[in-house]
Amino acid sequence: MHAPSPVPPLPQASPPASSRHARGTRRGFAVPALGLAAVLVAVAGLWLAGGLDEAEQEPEARPGQAIDTGWFTVTVRDARIAMASGPFGGARQRYLVVRLRAVSKGKETALLENGGLVDGLAARTKAGKWVRPDQVRGVAGGAQTRQVQPGLPVEASAMWRMGPSDAPKRFTVRLLKWEWDEGFSDDEFRWRIDPEDGSVAGRLTLPVAAMPAAAPSTPAPRVRPGTRPRVRPGHSPRTRPGGRATRPAGGTP
């Protein structure tokens, strides 16, 4: 008996054109999708690394530049570390002091502290948090003041309390914008800062001057008890009131 001859394999049918197009479309879509994912990862990396920092959206200013905040015109001068008394005359502490000049553009008296200039100032901590000054002091016309009169310049010091070992080299300050508006719970128009908007009029990064070292004190000379001052020859000795000279002038004892 002869073995049957093998049956040749059936020819494979070509896939429909629609299927080829679909696979090509999926492959073509996969490449842009991977590219988009890479872009998103890159953007996230830049954000975490500070590449898209909020400072890019805030107007940069420089020391000595007059900045219009709406209610005040503020000119920031410099930043330094100094010792100053605490609020209400408390013990002296270390502060980071930002010196500035403020002029009120309003028609009424403004305050330096709560409800006034201090609410429009903020500084960035090492942790990235923005905090307002612990206190603000001012001088106008050679006298200390807590107010800002319309059109009268005030030389002010915004002060942030520091720890005993804090010594930053640079200090970033924000000046917020004020708006003449009514509140949500009242119809009174006055100068306000929108806590949700938080628009920034200017942002400055200042070099910080270190606190000057205290001059060493010179100890007073010690005088041993019972010693008598020496009198050089040719000089008259001192006489006691109502008494005689302790040693003749120019003579020998």
The per-residue pLDDT for range 150-196, each reduced to its tens digit, is: 999 999 999 999 998 899 999 999 999 999 988 777 788 999 997 67
Per-position DSSP letters for 176-225, written without gaps between them: EPPEEEE-SS---EEEE--TTT--EEEEEEEEEEPPPPPPPPPPPPP--T
Residue 123 forms beta bridges with which residues? 131, 173
Does the pLDDT of residue 25 top 60, yes or no? Answer: no
pTM above 0.85, yes or no: no
CA distance 92 to 81: 13
Q: How many CB atoms lie within 10 A of CB 75?
A: 18
Helix (H, G, I), strand (E, B) or coil at 21: helix
Please give the pLDDT value at position 86.
86
| Tens digits of residue pLDDT in 97-126 | 999 999 999 999 999 999 999 999 999 998
Higher pLDDT: 27 or 134? It is 134
Spatial distance between the Cα atoms of 12 and 33, rounded to a whole number of angstroms? 33
Query: Are 201 and 73 a contacting pair, CB within 8 Å?
Result: no
